[in-house]
Structure 1
Amino acid sequence: MASLRQTLPEYRDTSTPGSIIRSSNDLKFRRGRKFGRVSKLVWVFLVALLFVIYSSMFHVDLPLYDKLESRISLSTTDIFGLGGNVQSGKKPSRKQRAPFFFSNRSDSPCEVAFVESVDDLVEPKETMNFTQFSLGYVDREEKPNGHDTFEPRFGGHQTLDEREKSFSARNQTLHCGFVNAPEGSPSTGFDLDEKDKEYMNTCLIVVSSCIFGSSDFLRRPTRQKIGEYSKSNVCFVMFLDEETMSMLSSEGQVLDDRGNIGLWRIVIVRNLPYTDMRRTGKVPKFLSHRLFPSARYSIWLDSKMRLRTDPMLILEYFLWRNGSEYAISNHYDRHCVWEEVLQNKRLNKYNHSAIDEQFLFYQSDASWFDPVTNLTDVPEGSFIVRAHTPMSNLFSCLWFNEVDRFTSRDQLSFAYTYLKLRRMNPGEPFFLNMFKDCERRALAKLFRHRATELPSPTVL
């Protein structure tokens, strides 16, 4: 069965609020009467202002807010049948959640108890109780008989039956990107130079990031924070497309003799597999085990971040110390999947119909959907630390396949992927470490994306 995903553009609301036109027709009033009327207007304005502030702080129901809520087609009442409260099945009052324009986000990092030096690190010799099995990957798809309109895709054409079986932690061959077209057909994308491939095959520990579509400035890791061992033994790889490389060159960012800009080894990606740059960015984000086949560990950070912590200290703290094989931070503000769905629609992060399609599909899957469970697994997603174990690699492939099939908003599919994997393999643990977001902020400095114009949203 062909993929259900439709390629749908992302957008942001670039509209600006209309101006308020005030009229002044009272110029003939006597001074005293004019002053009295103006005073009354001032008092009305102050009372209204105080009411708005009070409503925002204590979440009082407002007609305007109700109208905004009614425009969200994917509400927790009519689509999920949960009323927004997964535990009780009752619709929560406004006091139980902040309006979408009010955020409890804190930008302050918290203390992270790293070891004093890299010299004190001891890598665990045992693999704990990590699940062991063998994974192979679909590397080529042939044109089905009678399908003249067959279009090769980087993610392949995974059927729903293949998708269901892929969640089992067992010896298997599954779709995981990099699916080549039939002989004689054009490449499906993410083409790399052979010299870059040779270099990447030698990497045992990797720090990677990417910039596609000139969406960010290049932010170099802070050299003073990176030890000599990591500078010599860790691969720092930045994936760029040709457009971004051209932009960086015009800004004075020039490759040295080794093909580096600072600590970053620049790897140019040609023939991007998706027109959606965010979806293309999920390839190096999730599939580091495919890009670096010899690597044992990898650290991913979004291009909006500048690393200022030694990678070896990160591995010890987030993986080795607590026996984890995959570490990712919790979201800084939202801790419920349904709230993340609503927020994506409120802010027009993605086409509403595509989000509806994705979660109607998820709701119908009894292997993960449980109305009495509080679905709190919402990641921030910009910083991921991995051991390349079989279970970690399987989870990464499964998560990528959801992004390939549905929307590129990976925070929407994380909880589904994780819970379905866990429930389909009750005897095979996956050691996931969801750490505090303030710890993520202690590892790297956060910047804003480069300002770009995106298409205006379509009213749905």
Structure 2
Amino acid sequence: MTCIICLFMAFQKHLTDNSLVLGITEMLPERRGVIVGADLIKGPDHISDHGLRAVRRGRRSGRRRLLFWMFSFAAIFSICIAVFGFKMLFPGVEERQSFSSLTDVKDVSIKSDAQEQPKKKPHRGRFNPCEVDLGDSVDALVEPKAFWNFVKFSLHYVERENITSLENPATPRFGGHQTLEERERSFHAVNQTIHCGFVKGLEGFPSTGFDLVEEDKSYMSTCTVVVSSCIFGSSDFLRRPTSKLISQYSKKNVCFIMFVDKESLEKLSNEGSIPDERGFIGLWRIVVVSNLPYEDMRKTGKVPKFLSHRLFPSARYSIWLDSKMRLHTDPMLLIDYFLWRRKSEYAISNHYTRHCVWDEVQQNKHLNKYNHTAIDEQFLFYQSDGLHKFDPSNPNNPLPSYVPEGSFIVRAHTPMSNLFSCLWFNEVDRFTSRDQLSFGYTFLKLTRTNPDKRFVLHMFKDCERRAVTKLFHHRIP
């Protein structure tokens, strides 16, 4: 702005000087005579010609200077508009436009679902780990004798269903075709047979998915303690557990299983992560899954996340890690800290910022994590079945949060733990893959349906999760 003012003043001064000279020249003919007046006519011809040429040159020079100053003014004016903006030079225009726009939209209603997406991601807060009082060594660990005194009942699973009576009998599904009546009965902690994935169609129908080779299935059937993760759709890099922090006992007695599809294995191999002759990359045994059961890779990832008791039929304990995390704590110390000391059968951390499902729904829709209509259908169904908002001031809340950070789970394979895992998986299979939306509802309905049978779930602080694992970002597609 200053540059334009200075240039304008100089230009005005230049015009004033030139105007003054031209005016004096025209108004005082006796002075003009020095060049072209009467005295000049009396002189020699060559002097007259020289005077005329000088006048013409002077006039041409004046015009050139005038054009130069006009062009310079226009150029600098354009540059200042580009740098400082039009509204800086003419602030009144913006004020009038802003007032007009406010009056135009005052009667327009704003829906929460139609929020404008942010142009760039908001800055994430920094969340630090907190102190975790782990044991000094696995050598002194002893499983408590009374640990398995939890609710006892027998669970069996639907292996094959007769779907001839359904409208579309030619499409077997991995999760089966559970009716609402079957879903309602499945929440009772009693001896029963329930849907829990791996459902086959009638004889002659193709597999419903998550196919493994016999060698891997045989190895997995021997595991009693498992650490598992998965990479489907080349969504992540391979994060190896920190070997120097894993005890020799755990290296010999704990199964570290990484489930991948063929695409992900090829991507990892191209990056230098190639399984050895035994199928291992570091501590991870690579298990290749064929015929993925869902097109949604997130939903496919819920199979090993929730159904470890089905994939590892002999396992007593399992630890789940999302592929964006690296384990840098001995798994036996984690079982001792999160389960044995708390006398719990299932451990998961709460979310680092959100604790109410209402907030989680809004965040998922705001970031377009899933189809909004599908989220609304799921949420309305849960509300109609008794889901209420989380009240942080209520001391009788059964959990410190209704929203988990589900990337890290430690569980004992007890009947109630297995039932909860099946129920949670069935909600993901029926509705959206956003498992944080269904966690609180599944837990509350299970405990409400079985008031005399306790499910001992330990929901710990998220900072503890950060203390025992290293968190990374997902691979950029």
TM-score range, shorter chain: 0.7 to 0.9
Match of 1:280 among 297, 300, 322: 300
AA partner of residue 208 (structure 1): S
Q: Distance in 1 between matches of 2:431 and 2:206?
A: 24
Q: Deviations over 1:385-435 (max 9, x none)?
A: 000000000000000000000000000000000000011111101111111
The code of the aligned residue for 1:444 comes to T
Instruction: Tell me the SS of whatever aligns to 2:113.
Output: coil
2:178 equivalent among 121, 145, 158: 158
386, 409, 430: which one pairs with 1:405? 430
- Residue 387 of structure 1 aligns with an amino acid whose one-letter code is A
- The answer to whether 1:229 aligns with 2:229 is no
Shift, 1:129, TM fit: 4.3
User: Do 2:159 and 2:199's aligned partners in 1 also have CA atoms closer than 8 Å?
Assistant: yes
CA deviation after TM superposition for structure 1 residue 31, in Å: 5.2
The counterpart of 1:72, out of the listed 97, 105, 113, is 113
Alignment of 1:13-412 (within 5 A): 29-30=5-6, 41=88, 70-72=111-113, 105-127=125-147, 129-145=149-165, 147=167, 149-366=169-386, 369-370=387-388, 376-412=401-437
* Distance across 2 between alignment mates of 1:275 and 1:424: 33
Letter in 1 for 2:444: L
CA shift for structure 1 position 106: 3.2
Task: Report the alpha carbon displacement of residue 145 of structure 1 after superposing the two structures with TM.
Answer: 3.5
Q: How many residues align?
A: 383
How many Å separate the matches in 2 of 1:319 and 1:167? 23
Q: 1:427 to 1:255 in 2, by over 3 A?
A: same
Cα distance in 1 for partners of 2:428, 2:138 equals 36
Change (3 A) 1:351 1:31: same
Indicate whether 1:432 and 2:473 are aligned: no
Report the CA distance between 1:370 and its aligned residue. Answer: 3.9
- Deviation larger for 297-306 or 103-112: 103-112
Between the aligned partners of 2:125 and 2:447, the Cα distance in structure 1 is 30
In the alignment, the residues of structure 1 paired with residue 136 and residue 427 of structure 2 have an alpha-carbon distance, to the nearest angstrom, of 40
Q: 1:30 to 1:235 in 2, by over 3 A?
A: same
Measured after TM superposition, the shift of residue 103 of structure 1 is 7.0
SS at match of 2:193: strand
Structure 1: tracts of 5 or more residues without a match: 1-23, 45-63, 75-99, 453-460
**TM-score of the superposition, structure 2-length normalised?**
0.75
* 1:446 counterpart residue number: 471
1:279-318: CA deviation from partner (whole Å, max 9, x where unpaired): 0000000000000000000000000011100000000000
Give the SS at the match of 1:189. Answer: coil
> Contact (CA 8 Å) 1:105, 1:333: kept in 2 or not?
no
Structure 1: how far apart are the matches of 2:212 and 2:109? Answer: 46
- In the TM superposition, what is the alpha-carbon distance from 1:72 to its structure 2 partner? 1.3
Q: Distance in 2 between matches of 1:415 and 1:27?
A: 64
What RMSD, in angstroms, separates the aligned Cα atoms of the two structures? 3.1
User: Quick one: distance in 1 between partners of 2:133 and 2:390?
Assistant: 36
Q: Check conservation: 2:357, 2:390, Cα contact below 8 A.
A: no
C-alpha separation between the residues in 2 aligned to 1:292 and 1:134?
17
Q: Distance in 1 between matches of 2:459 and 2:113?
A: 30
8 Å CA contact retained: 1:395, 1:418: yes
Within 1, Cα distance between the matches of 2:168 and 2:256? 43
Question: What SS does the corresponding residue of 1:383 show, helix, strand or coil?
Answer: strand
> Per the alignment, do residues 425 and 294 of structure 1 end up closer, same or farther by CA in structure 2, a change over 3 Å counting?
same
SS in 1 for 2:302: helix
State percent identity of aligned pairs.
66
Alignment partners' CA distance in 2, 1:237 and 1:413: 26
User: Partners in 2 of 1:405 and 1:305 — Cα distance?
Assistant: 27
Write the deviation string for residues 336-362 of structure 1: whole angstroms up to 9, x where unpaired: 110000000000000000000001111
Contact 1:155–1:404 at 8 Å: present in 2 too?
A: yes
Query: Are the aligned partners of 1:218 and 1:248 in contact in 2 as well (CA < 8 Å)?
Result: yes
CA distance in 1, matches of 2:328, 2:465: 11
TM superposition score normalised by structure 1: 0.77
Distance 1:38 1:302, change over 3 A: closer
What is the CA distance between 1:147 and its match in structure 2? 3.8
> Structure 1 residues 398 and 32 mapped into 2: Cα distance closer, same or farther (>3 Å)?
farther
Q: 1:400 to 1:447 in 2, by over 3 A?
A: same
Give the SS at the match of 2:268.
Answer: helix
Q: Which moved more, 1:246-255 or 1:341-350?
A: 246-255
Contact 2:356 2:390 in 1 (8 A): no
Distance 2:313 2:114 in 1: 43
CA distance in 2 between counterparts of 1:173 and 1:32 reads: 89
C-alpha distance 146-417 of structure 1, shift in aligned 2 (>3 A):
closer
Counterpart code for 1:412: L
Distance (Å, rounded) in 1 between the aligned partners of 2:404 and 2:390: 21
Task: Say if 1:104 and 1:333, in contact at 8 Å, map to a contact too.
Answer: no
Deviation of 1:153 (Å): 0.2
Within 1, Cα distance between the matches of 2:84 and 2:166? 78
Equivalent residue letter for 1:378: V
Whole-Å Cα distance in 2 between the matches of residues 232 and 132 of structure 1?
31
